[in-house]
Structure 1
Amino acid sequence: MSSSPGSPKKNRMRSLLANSFRRPRSQSHSHSSSVPNEGARLGSAQSGTPSAINAAVSLSSAGPNIPSTSEPDSAKLGRARGKAALAGFRTSLEVLRDNAGVFPPLSSAAGILLSCIEGIETAGRNQQEYENLWIELTRSAEFLSQRMQGAGSLPVSNSFLNISKSIEQQAQEIETKLAKKTGGRVRKTIIEEEEILGQYRRVESLFRQLQTDASMSIWSIVNSQLVETRLQGLESVKEATYDSGLSNEVGRRTCTEGTRIRVLEDLRDWINDPMSAPIYWMNGMAGIGKTTIACTFCEQMEGRKLLAASFFCTRNFPDCRRVNRIIPTIAYQLARYSLPFKTALCHVLDQDPDIAKKTLSKQFDKLLKEPLAGMEGVLPQNLVVVIDALDECENGTEVERILDTLFRYATGVPLKFLVTSRPEPEIYPRIMQHNDQSRVVVHLHEIEKSLVQTDIKLFLEEELSLIALTPPQLEQLLERSGALFIYAATLVRYIQSGEKRANLHKRLKSVLELAPDASKRHAHLDALYKEVLKSAFDEEEAEEDEQEDVREVLRTVLVAREPISVETIASLTGIDDPQRVVSALQPLRSVIHQSEQTKLVSILHASFPDFMFSNDRSGSYFFDQLEYNQRLASRCFSAMETQLRFNICHLDSSFLEDNELEDLEARIKAHISSTLVYTCRHWGAHLDLAPRSEYLLKALADFFSNRFLFWMEVLNLRQEMNIGSETLVKAKDWLTASPAEPQS
Structure 2
Amino acid sequence: CLKGTREGVLWDIEAWEADEMNESVYWLKGVAGCGKSTIAQTFAERSAAKGKLGASFFCSRDYPDRRDLHLIFLTLACDLAYRSSDFKTALVPIIRANPNVQDDSLPVQLGKLLVRPFKQTGLSATIVVDALDECEDKEPVSEFLSALAVHVNNMPTVRFFITGRPEDHIRSGFKLSSLRTKVLPLHDVNSATVDSDIKSFVAFRLDEIATRRRQSISGQWPSDRDIAVILKKTSGLFIIASVILRFIDSSVASPQKLLKLIVDPPESTIYEGRSGIDVVYHQILSAIFEHANDDDAVFFDQLHLVVGSIVLALEPLPRASLAEILEMTPQDIWTILIHLHSVLIVPESESEPIRILHKSFADFITDKERCPDARHFIDAPHHHSALGIYCLKLMNTRLIENICGVPQYAMNNDVEDLPARRVLCIAAPLSYTCLSWAKHLQLSSQAGGNTSSVLTLVNNFFTRHLLSWLEVLSIEEHLHTAIYSLHNNPDQDLLDLIDDCERFVLRSFDGIKQSAMHTYHSALSWTPTSSPIRLLYERELMTKTKLVNAVGPTWDACIRIIPLAVGVSVEAVVFSPSGALIAAHGEYCMKVFDAMTGVNRATFIVQASICSVAFSLDDGFLVSGLFGGTINVWDVQTGTIFRTFEWNSSAYSVAFSYCGTMLASGGSDKTVQIWNILSGGCHCVFHGHIGVVTDVSIGFSLDLTFTAFLLSDSTVQTWNAHTRHHESIIIDDLSVFHIALSPNGSQLASLSPYHMKLWDLKSGGC
Would the TM-score normalized by the shorter structure come out above 0.5? yes
- Displacement of 1:590: 1.2
Question: Corresponding residue for 2:476?
Answer: 721
Question: Corresponding residue for 1:407?
Answer: 149
**Structure 1 residues 393-402 or 577-586, which shifts more?**
393-402
Distance in 2 between the 1:651 and 1:276 partners?
A: 58
Cα pair 2:60 2:135 within 8 Å, conserved: yes
- Displacement of 1:594: 1.4
Mark the CA change 1:394 to 1:263 in structure 2 (over 3 Å): closer, same or farther: same
**1:96-125 Cα deviation digits (max 9, x unpaired):** xxxxxxxxxxxxxxxxxxxxxxxxxxxxxx
Mark the CA change 1:419 to 1:739 in structure 2 (over 3 Å): closer, same or farther: farther
- Aligned pairs for 1:381-400 (under 5 A) are 381=124, 383-397=125-139, 400=142
Letter in 2 for 1:589: H
Cα pair 2:412 2:418 within 8 Å, conserved: no
- Aligned pairs for 1:71-86 (under 5 A) are none
Aligned sequence identity (%):
30
Question: Corresponding residue for 1:644?
Answer: 399
- Displacement of 1:397: 1.8
Question: Corresponding residue for 2:170?
Answer: 427
From 44, 64, 68, the counterpart of 1:318: 64
Cα pair 2:226 2:263 within 8 Å, conserved: no
Cα pair 1:685 1:727 within 8 Å, conserved: no
Cα pair 2:69 2:135 within 8 Å, conserved: yes
Question: Corresponding residue for 1:730?
Answer: 484
Question: Corresponding residue for 1:357?
Answer: 103
Question: Corresponding residue for 1:613?
Answer: 366
Mark the CA change 1:703 to 1:346 in structure 2 (over 3 Å): closer, same or farther: farther
Letter in 1 for 2:338: Q
Cα pair 1:494 1:532 within 8 Å, conserved: yes
Cα pair 2:142 2:173 within 8 Å, conserved: yes
Cα pair 2:141 2:173 within 8 Å, conserved: no
From 557, 581, 589, the counterpart of 2:310: 557
Letter in 2 for 1:444: L
- Displacement of 1:458: 2.3
Question: Corresponding residue for 1:483?
Answer: 236
Distance in 2 between the 1:701 and 1:330 partners?
A: 46
Which structure is higher in helix share?
1
- Displacement of 1:617: 1.9
Question: Corresponding residue for 1:589?
Answer: 341
**1:422-477 Cα deviation digits (max 9, x unpaired):** 12233235425769x92111111221222222222222222222262111111111
Mark the CA change 1:404 to 1:297 in structure 2 (over 3 Å): closer, same or farther: same
Letter in 2 for 1:388: D
- Displacement of 1:336: 3.6
From 447, 453, 458, the counterpart of 2:195: 453
- Displacement of 1:399: 5.2
Mark the CA change 1:472 to 1:480 in structure 2 (over 3 Å): closer, same or farther: same
Distance in 1 between the 2:494 and 2:463 partners?
A: 22
In structure 2, the residue corresponding to 1:619 is in which secondary structure? Answer: coil
Distance in 1 between the 2:62 and 2:363 partners?
A: 14
Cα pair 2:90 2:120 within 8 Å, conserved: no
From 408, 426, 430, the counterpart of 1:676: 430
- Displacement of 1:417: 1.2
- Displacement of 1:551: 1.6
In structure 1, the residue corresponding to 2:174 is in which secondary structure? Answer: helix
- Aligned pairs for 1:689-728 (under 5 A) are 689-691=443-445, 693=450, 699=457, 702-703=460-461, 706-708=464-466, 710-711=468-469, 721-722=476-477, 724-728=478-482
| Aligned: 1:547 with 2:293 | no
The Cα RMSD (Å) is 3.7
In structure 1, the residue corresponding to 2:371 is in which secondary structure? Answer: helix
| Aligned: 1:262 with 2:14 | no
Question: Corresponding residue for 1:296?
Answer: 42
In structure 1, the residue corresponding to 2:129 is in which secondary structure? Answer: strand
Cα pair 2:382 2:444 within 8 Å, conserved: yes
| Aligned: 1:632 with 2:384 | no
**Structure 1 residues 403-412 or 696-705, which shifts more?**
696-705
| Aligned: 1:530 with 2:282 | yes
Distance in 2 between the 1:523 and 1:687 partners?
A: 32
Cα pair 1:516 1:527 within 8 Å, conserved: no
- Displacement of 1:697: 6.5
Cα pair 1:477 1:512 within 8 Å, conserved: no
Distance in 1 between the 2:258 and 2:111 partners?
A: 58
- Displacement of 1:310: 2.3
Question: Corresponding residue for 2:180?
Answer: 438
In structure 2, the residue corresponding to 1:310 is in which secondary structure? Answer: strand
Cα pair 2:60 2:134 within 8 Å, conserved: yes
Cα pair 2:304 2:378 within 8 Å, conserved: no
Distance in 1 between the 2:410 and 2:138 partners?
A: 45
**1:541-588 Cα deviation digits (max 9, x unpaired):** 5743222222211100001122222232233334x3332211110232
In structure 2, the residue corresponding to 1:373 is in which secondary structure? Answer: helix
Letter in 1 for 2:59: C
- Displacement of 1:681: 4.3
Distance in 1 between the 2:111 and 2:266 partners?
A: 54
Question: Corresponding residue for 1:307?
Answer: 53
In structure 2, the residue corresponding to 1:588 is in which secondary structure? Answer: coil
Mark the CA change 1:536 to 1:506 in structure 2 (over 3 Å): closer, same or farther: closer
Cα pair 1:688 1:730 within 8 Å, conserved: no
Distance in 1 between the 2:352 and 2:202 partners?
A: 27
Letter in 2 for 1:410: V
Question: Corresponding residue for 2:667?
Answer: none
- Aligned pairs for 1:110-259 (under 5 A) are 255-259=1-5
- Displacement of 1:641: 1.9
Question: Corresponding residue for 2:18?
Answer: 272
Question: Corresponding residue for 2:206?
Answer: 464
TM-score (norm 2): 0.55
Mark the CA change 1:334 to 1:522 in structure 2 (over 3 Å): closer, same or farther: farther
Question: Corresponding residue for 2:612?
Answer: none
- Displacement of 1:699: 4.6
- Displacement of 1:490: 0.5
Mark the CA change 1:684 to 1:352 in structure 2 (over 3 Å): closer, same or farther: farther
Distance in 1 between the 2:198 and 2:164 partners?
A: 21
Number of aligned residue pairs = 475
Letter in 2 for 1:629: H
Mark the CA change 1:698 to 1:540 in structure 2 (over 3 Å): closer, same or farther: closer
**1:270-301 Cα deviation digits (max 9, x unpaired):** 22222221111111111111112212223333
Cα pair 1:514 1:527 within 8 Å, conserved: no
From 219, 224, 227, the counterpart of 1:474: 227
Letter in 2 for 1:583: T
In structure 2, the residue corresponding to 1:441 is in which secondary structure? Answer: strand
**1:627-647 Cα deviation digits (max 9, x unpaired):** 422321221121122223345
In structure 2, the residue corresponding to 1:417 is in which secondary structure? Answer: strand
Mark the CA change 1:477 to 1:669 in structure 2 (over 3 Å): closer, same or farther: same
Moved over 6 A (4+): 516-521, 650-664
Mark the CA change 1:401 to 1:578 in structure 2 (over 3 Å): closer, same or farther: closer
In structure 2, the residue corresponding to 1:397 is in which secondary structure? Answer: coil
TM-score (norm 1): 0.57
